[in-house]
Amino acid sequence: MAMGPTESRRSALRLNASMVIGAVLVVLILGLALVSFFWTPYDPGEIDPVARLQSGSLDHPFGTDKFGRDTLTWVMYGARITLLVGVVAVGIALLIGTPIGIIAAIFAKQPWGIWIDAVIMRANDILLAFPALLLAIVFAAVFSPGTGPAMVAVGIAAIPGFARVARSGTLQVLGSEYVRAAKASNRGAPAIAAVHVLPNIAGMVIVQASVAFAISVLAEAGLSFLGLGTQAPVPSWGRMLQESQQFLSTHPELALWPGVFIALAVLGFNLLGDGLRDRFDPKMEARGA
């Protein structure tokens, strides 16, 4: 059923609100990370025993931790790690998962290639069964706990999502008239993938990247909390939460600030992903028609 003018306007407002709020939150986190390269209230490694466990003040707006380190400074530096892990992990998943999905879809359209598509997607399902935490434990055992192994583990765990999205979008594109015309013109599969498939599934992949970024933020925080991610003395929101456990009853603000920024980052990328999905998903556009 087609939406009326009022429903269409409401849908557009929800779309705009979701994208705007998500974009603002993402820009906030990005701004914290960028500003930390040029200015922070204190050095992240500066220890002041006299100022330990202080509440918020003009000198320390977010207070200090058990070593007297400025919490605001650690939050700003922690934003760097969060974005770094997200960019690398999503980059790994996107660069590997997207081609896998496209290749699987191309084979699925060939009578002789259906079994290849089945093998690729079943392998994808097997990888999907391994969560990022389990992969991080394996990587930590083989190499050592750290930001690098955590990024790779989160990236590998996110590959199946990109492969599924890319395959689904590619199957839709390959069934279109312009792709049939390209095949009739004797264009090969690589040319069709580059010229027709990639531009048309780019929106879907961007949406998946935004959602995967939110998942990466949570994964990095969880791995650092468990001691499998970012190691001391590098600031990390997850490690801040882990170190604040013993002070939850007396100084809950030590857990409050990293928890708030983790929540803001996850909410921002999820809202941005929802808005982008409504913008790029043809099914959503059809509903609004």
Residue 66's pLDDT band, with cuts at 50, 70 and 90, is: confident
Residue 287 has pLDDT above 50, yes or no: no
Residue 35's pLDDT band, with cuts at 50, 70 and 90, is: very high
Residue 284 has pLDDT above 50, yes or no: no
Average pLDDT over the chain, rounded to an integer? 83
Enter the pTM of the model. Answer: 0.84
Q: Mean pLDDT across the stretch 211-216?
A: 91
The three-state (H, E, C) secondary structure of the chain, written as one string:
CCCCHHHHHHHHHHHHHHHHHHHHHHHHHHHHHHHHCCCCCCCCCCCCHHHCCCCCCCCCCCCECCCCCEHHHHHHHHHHHHHHHHHHHHHHHHHHHHHHHHHHHHHHCCHHHHHHHHHHHHHHHHHHCCCHHHHHHHHHHHCCCCHHHHHHHHHHHHHHHHHHHHHHHHHHHHCCHHHHHHHHCCCCHHHHHHHHHHHHHHHHHHHHHHHHHHHHHHHHHHHHHCCCCCCCCCCCHHHHHHHCHHHCCCCCHHHHHHHHHHHHHHHHHHHHHHHHHHHHCHHHHHHHC
Residue 247 has pLDDT above 90, yes or no: no
Q: Mean pLDDT across the stretch 237-258?
A: 88
Domains (ranges, CATH) in the chain?
5-45+62-288 (1.10.3720.10)
